[in-house]
Structure 1
Amino acid sequence: MPSFPPILLHLGPEEGEKLSAFRELRAALRKVHGEELEEHSYYAFDTPPDKVVDLLQNGSLFGSGVLVRYRAVENLKRREEIAPLLRYAANPVSTAVLVMESSETTVQGDLKKAAGAQNTRIFWEMFENQKQGWLSGYFRRHEVQIEPEGIELFLELVENNTLDLRQEADRLIGFVGKRITLEDVDQYIYHAREESIFTLYDAVVAQDLEHALDITEKLVVTSEPVQILLGLSWQLERLYTLQILRSGGIPEARLFDELAQRSGQRVAGKRLQKSLLLAARRYALEECAAIRILTSDTDALLRTVPVSFHRGILQQYLYSIIIRKGSWSVAATPGRKRPWEYPGRVPFRGV
């Protein structure tokens, strides 16, 4: 029987490769244990380490092996709460495997100690100059011809990890076929896609709160609120940069060339450029700055509180952007009373 490390620690933002590594491990364990393999998935902000350890030690009473996926372990900060994992690491169950995961590249040192350096791996995102090559290769392997400009525009759609790139590329191929032009990608973004971060951003730009909330309700079925926020924040950050350029006197005709030079990313599609300019007219620089602070606060909060709070927090966040334009951030409006605050461990400036 092959042996497996009792504890693995998978870090980093590259969710696609991280998921592939987990699936490979699961497939190998299923070959050994078959249908008797018990599989469990937990988040560190919902389930403390002592309960995970209890499952690892006792779960195999009902099956021949146990696989536990323990995610968001960056939330484990205190040594006393991590202590059960260290004790377990000293005397693990031979038929149990624990995979700890985090989107961060560093976590509390005792977590690394529990897994051991040999079982710790960081999954790095691709550099900007690597994404286009990876995507070109993916289309080529599927015998799809796509214009270089189409790839540039397509990359505006997706988070920088291979999981999202692969899923969205498959949808594009299914919609267009084997020959894809820039215009095809443009049409796909605005007419053929399911509700997405892009359509959510469009609703924010249109200041349509009801539509934004409807889109969010659909997105949370398949995506975590943290991922939704990250996708939205990337576009809001670009809007903030655009507003800085406008306030610096850059003429509209040169805005996107200057934006590409500063950020390293070209806004290829005319519709995307039009959407950004519309947003810049509706959200002033001061409002973009307030929204930027609010987004950072909300991200920190979502990574700290129980999952049951996430949907409400995301709804409050959208209300604060669209109706209040970020002005209720305490950092943006000193002295204002916090309208809403979660009494948790991380100070939060309120939505």
Structure 2
Amino acid sequence: MAVKSSAAAAKKISGVYIFLGPELGKKRQAIDAIRKKNAGDAAPEETVYYAGETPVSKIVSDIQNHSLFAQSRIFIIKNAELIKKKDEIETIVSCMSSLESETILILVSDEIKLAAGLDSVVAGEYRQVFYELFEREKNEWVRSFFRQQGFAIDSEGIETILEMVENNTEALARECSRLTLFLRNPQADGSQKISAEDIEKWLSRSREESAFTLFSRIAAGDIAKALEVTRSLLAARESAKAVLAGLAWCFRKLRTYHALPEAGKQDNFELRKIGLAAPKARADYTSAARLYSPGAVDACLALTAEYDLLLLSMGSAFETVLMDMYLMKIHALGNRAG
């Protein structure tokens, strides 16, 4: 996304942006474009806050505290959907209306809307929702990525990637880049072909455990193995927040899976449409659906969001304890559903 250079937009260079939705890669690109647009002789001074962790009053105080040294400043508030109280909204809106010319405020959320009092203040190109790509767009994105890197990938290979990797372009770019490093043959002539077997082998090898293997343990109701996988991930310096993000993606897909039988659509075509082509993936979600009712899935998603905030507020020293508590509560929800 490029920031327009019209006279109206020029007034917004140091203004307010709202970037929403689950497509992390495009949101990051939009923020990068703003950084680039506002870089002078030096990169803008940047501060990131998480709503729910830092009080709104503290955030606004920092924004309004003039910097004597920075040419431009960017303030990013993540999890902005948590700004809901009337006094917090009024404080933020008041701050928006009095930003200094060299200051930019960006509100970011994985949701598709914020509190009405915030959403209504910012409009047009300054408020954008980055939706998850459609299935055909995901397929074309992966195919195009490998084509540009000199690889030919078939439909089964693409399906394998979309089953094993979180479906936003940020995660896809990271894992597909790793795959090209593992699979590239310097002696290959022309486009190098890669198969689903190659992809599954190397993704599994490069990430012996992941949020997806953890979900498999959760789907099986195996709390002991789930705790063991989580300990392995944390010992390998995997971010607990990244693990929760992966599990949230899995539970959202489980919610979609639950909707299929209700409409009589649980056939091969519909399963492929939601990214469940491989037998192992289908087995995982079938097992998970037996343990977790639709209501339990919603509760799991709410619990995941709650512990994401707890990890932010309590810090890395408590990761293991918090993740153990989280998994025990997730397991209990499954038992009730069964």
* TM-score, normalised relative to structure 2: 0.78
CA distance, structure 1, for counterparts of residue 59 and residue 270 of structure 2:
48
Quick one: which of 182, 190, 193 aligns to 2:207? 193
Partner of 1:180: 194
Structure 1 Cα separation of the partners of residues 328 and 314 of structure 2: 16
1:119–1:210 Cα change, 3 Å: closer
Identical positions, percent:
25
Do structure 1's residue 214 and structure 2's residue 219 form an aligned pair? Answer: no
Provide the rounded CA distance (Å) in 2 between the counterparts of 1:299 and 1:82. Answer: 25
SS in structure 2 of the partner of residue 34 of structure 1: coil
Q: AA paired with 1:110?
A: G
Displacement after TM superposition at 1:175 (Å): 1.7
Determine the structure 1 residue equivalent to 2:155: 148
Contact kept, 8 Å, 2:211 with 2:246, in 1: the verdict is yes
3-state DSSP class of the match of 1:69?
Answer: strand
Q: What is the one-letter code of the residue matched to 1:143?
A: G
Higher mean alpha-carbon deviation, 229-238 vs 205-214, is at 229-238
Equivalent in the alignment of 1:343? none
Whether the 8 Å contact between 1:6 and 1:89 is mirrored in structure 2 is yes
Contact 1:14 1:124 in 2 (8 A): yes
Quick one: distance in 1 between partners of 2:197 and 2:243?
31
Q: Is the 8 A contact 1:156 1:267 kept in 2?
A: yes
Separation (CA, whole Å) in 1 of partners of 2:275 and 2:310: 36
Relative to 1, partners in 2 of residues 1:219 and 1:147: Cα closer, same or farther, differing over 3 Å?
farther
Q: Residues of 2 paired with 1:266 and 1:87: CA distance?
A: 44
CA, structure 1 residues 209+197, in 2 after alignment: closer, same or farther (shift >3 Å)?
Answer: closer
Aligned length: 312
Shift of 1:263: 6.7
Per-residue deviation, 1:125: 1.5
SS of aligned partner of 1:326: helix
Distance, in Å, in 1 between the alignment partners of 2:330 and 2:119 is: 39
Amino acid at match of 2:132: E
How far does residue 154 in structure 1 lie from its aligned partner after superposition? 1.2
What whole-Å deviation, never above 9, does each CA across 1:253-277 have from its counterpart, x for those lacking one? xx9x72542672353335445x538
Superposition pairs for residues 130-145 of structure 1, below 5 Å?
Answer: 130-145=137-152
**TM-superposed deviation, 1:221:** 2.0
- Cα distance in 1 for residues equivalent to 2:216 and 2:308: 25
Structure 1: runs of 5 or more not aligned: 334-351
Q: 1:101-151 deviations in whole A, cap 9, x for unaligned?
A: 111111112213443445211112211121101111111111111122111
Matched residue, 2:26: 17
Match of 2:251 among 214, 233, 237: 233
Structure 2 stretches lacking a partner, 5+ long: 185-191
What TM-score results when the alignment is normalised by the length of structure 1? 0.76
Which residue number in structure 2 is paired with residue 27 of structure 1?
A: 36
Would you say 1:102 and 2:102 are equivalent positions?
A: no
Q: Aligned in 2, Cα 1:294/1:111: closer, same or farther, shift over 3 Å? A: closer
Partners of 1:11 and 1:137 in 2: how far apart?
Answer: 25
Deviation at 1:313, TM superposition (A): 4.6
Please give the per-residue CA displacement for 1:230-282, whole angstroms capped at 9, x wherever unaligned.
1342465577679x69xxxx9xxxx9x72542672353335445x538x73xx
Q: Given the superposition, is the C-alpha separation of residues 87 and 120 from structure 1 closer, same or farther in structure 2, using an over 3 Å criterion?
A: same
SS in 2 for 1:156: helix
In structure 2, distance between residues paired with 1:86 and 1:216: 41
SS in 2 for 1:60: coil
Distance 1:153 1:47 in 2: 40
**Is this contact kept in 2: 1:9–1:115, CA < 8 A?**
yes
Question: What whole-Å deviation, never above 9, does each CA across 1:296-351 have from its counterpart, x for those lacking one?
Answer: 341353466572359455422322445x4723x5xx59xxxxxxxxxxxxxxxxxx
Greater displacement, 99-108 / 302-311: 302-311
Q: 2:182, 2:157 → 1: CA distance?
A: 14
Structure 2 letter corresponding to 1:130 = E
Root mean square deviation of aligned Cα: 3.4
State the AA in 2 paired with 1:170. S
Q: Report the Cα offset of residue 8 of structure 1.
A: 0.8
CA distance in 2, matches of 1:225, 1:82: 31
1:1-351 to 2 correspondence within 5 Å? 4-30=13-39, 32-34=40-42, 37-177=44-184, 178-204=192-218, 205=220, 207=222, 208-217=225-234, 218=236, 220-221=238-239, 223-224=241-242, 226-234=244-252, 236-237=254-255, 258=267, 260-261=269-270, 264-265=273-274, 267-273=276-282, 276=284, 280=287, 285=290, 287-289=291-293, 291-302=296-307, 307-308=312-313, 311=319, 312-322=321-331, 324=332, 326-327=334-335, 332=337
Amino acid at match of 1:90: S
Q: 1:21 to 1:118 in 2, by over 3 A?
A: closer
What CA distance in whole angstroms lies between the structure 2 residues aligned with 1:321 and 1:106?
27
